[in-house]
């Protein structure tokens, strides 16, 4: 029986069905409005002057569509420095997380040894631990080893907090590699270390990219750790993008709507562009890492 063969006897039922779908169509429209309008409003707002904010209704369109003064002002307030800090902290941490995480996941899933279940559980436990539990001792250590005032505390903490989920996800992906690949390589005389490097990693390339992408969003959007280790000690020059955005209104003194909106827009832009190109992969990766909560 063909699937789309539902016309014929079922016709009256189908028509009733369509009738009942109208409210659902409306619901979808409202849903999209709720999801998209705030962001649209944000973008429109970033093009408005202070005068427009105060004297025109909030849903009015900007008077001048090419008014990028707000962006210029926002950029001049130090966003470029924040961006550099974020990049310098996030990307090295990301590289370490992904490589070490893949290696550990490989050791825990492909290699056969006693106690690997226990070690995997140990990593899994780290996913549940709230960061608050480790911040205070880390702050003491970084303070005593004079790392405070550099980006090192941020990088180290990011690596450690990113590892548990990465190891867990990599172990899951390793499960799907056919073991025959490694048998063949071993017969050809390759060591397991070499097999990991020249077979495991290439086979896992897709997974590595997905996991890296997921971790990128976690680290790039992080506020708690960045705030604790950069702004807590009076080092404003170390602020990451998120910390910088939060203190943005402070930097401007009075409430300047336009530049704030432009700064938020710039902040959203990076994730927007990434999401635009990689949304299917992001959705897959994020839901696979749902254990993180």
Partner 1 sequence: MRQVLGDRKTIAVLLAPALICYSLIMLAPMIWSLGYTFFTGNPIRGFSFAGLANFDTLLHDPKTGQALAFTVKYAVTVTVGQVVLGYLLALLYVFHLKRSSGLVRTLVFFPVVLPTVAVSLLFQKLFAIVPQDGPVNSVLQLFGAESVNWFGSGAKAFLVIALMDIWRSMGFYGVLLYAGLVDIPDDVIESARLDGAGGWRLARAVVLPLSSPVLISALIFSINGTLKVFDSIYALTGGGPGSLTSPLTLHMYRTAFAYGDYGYGATIALTLTICCLLVTVAVFRGSRKDLLA
Interface with partner 1 includes 22 (CB under 8 A)? no
Give the span between the Cα atoms of 126 and 169, in whole angstroms: 13
Select the span of 54-62, 69-77, 201-209 touching partner 1 (CB under 8 A).
54-62
How many residues of this chain bind partner 1 (CB under 8 A)? 106
Applying CB under 8 A, among 49, 67, 73, 242 the residue interacting with partner 1 is 242
* Contact present, 203 and 181 (Cβ < 8 Å): yes
Interface of this chain with partner 1, residues 75 to 104, rule: CB under 8 A: 96, 100-101, 103-104
Interface of this chain with partner 1, residues 262 to 291, rule: CB under 8 A: 264, 267-268, 271-272, 274-275, 279-280, 282-283, 286-287, 290-291
Applying CB under 8 A, among 157, 210, 215, 230 the residue interacting with partner 1 is 157
State the nearest-atom distance from the C-beta of 156 to partner 1, in Å. 6
Nearer to partner 1, 65 or 132 (CB): 132
Nearer to partner 1, 57 or 66 (CB): 57
State the nearest-atom distance from the C-beta of 224 to partner 1, in Å. 5
Applying CB under 8 A, among 11, 15, 26, 27 the residue interacting with partner 1 is 27
Q: How far is CA 241 from CA 131, 246, 278, in A?
A: 20, 9, 22
Interface with partner 1 includes 258 (CB under 8 A)? no
């Amino acid at each position: 029986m063909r699937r789309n063969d539902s016309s014929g006897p079922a016709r009256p039922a189908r028509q009733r069905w369509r009738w009942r779908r109208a409210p659902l169509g409306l619901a979808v429209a409202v849903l999209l409005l709720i999801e998209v309008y705030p962001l649209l409003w944000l973008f429109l707002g970033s093009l408005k002057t202070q005068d427009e904010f105060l004297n025109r209704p909030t849903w009015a369109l900007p008077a001048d569509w090419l008014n990028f003064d707000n962006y210029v002002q926002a950029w001049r307030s130090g966003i470029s420095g924040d961006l550099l800090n974020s990049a310098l902290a996030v990307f090295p941490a990301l590289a370490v997380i992904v490589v070490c995480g893949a290696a550990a996941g490989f050791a825990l899933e492909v290699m056969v040894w006693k106690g690997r279940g226990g070690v995997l559980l140990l990593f899994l436990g780290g996913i549940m631990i709230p960061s608050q539990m480790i911040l205070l001792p880390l702050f003491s250590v970084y303070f005593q080893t004079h790392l405070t005032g550099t980006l090192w505390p941020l990088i180290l903490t990011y690596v450690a907090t990113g590892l548990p989920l990465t190891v867990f996800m990599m172990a899951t992906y390793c499960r799907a590699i056919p073991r025959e690949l490694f048998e063949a390589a071993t017969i050809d005389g390759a060591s397991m270390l070499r097999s990991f490097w020249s077979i495991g990693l290439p086979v896992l390339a897709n997974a590595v990219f997905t996991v890296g992408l997921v971790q990128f969003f976690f680290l790039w959007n992080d506020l708690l750790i960045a705030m604790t280790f950069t702004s807590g000690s009076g080092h404003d020059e170390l602020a990451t993008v998120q910390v910088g955005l939060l203190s943005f209104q402070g930097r401007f003194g009075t409430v300047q709507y336009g530049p704030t909106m432009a700064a938020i827009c710039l902040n959203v832009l990076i994730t927007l562009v990434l999401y635009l190109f990689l949304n299917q992969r992001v959705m897959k990766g994020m839901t696979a890492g749902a254990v993180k909560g």
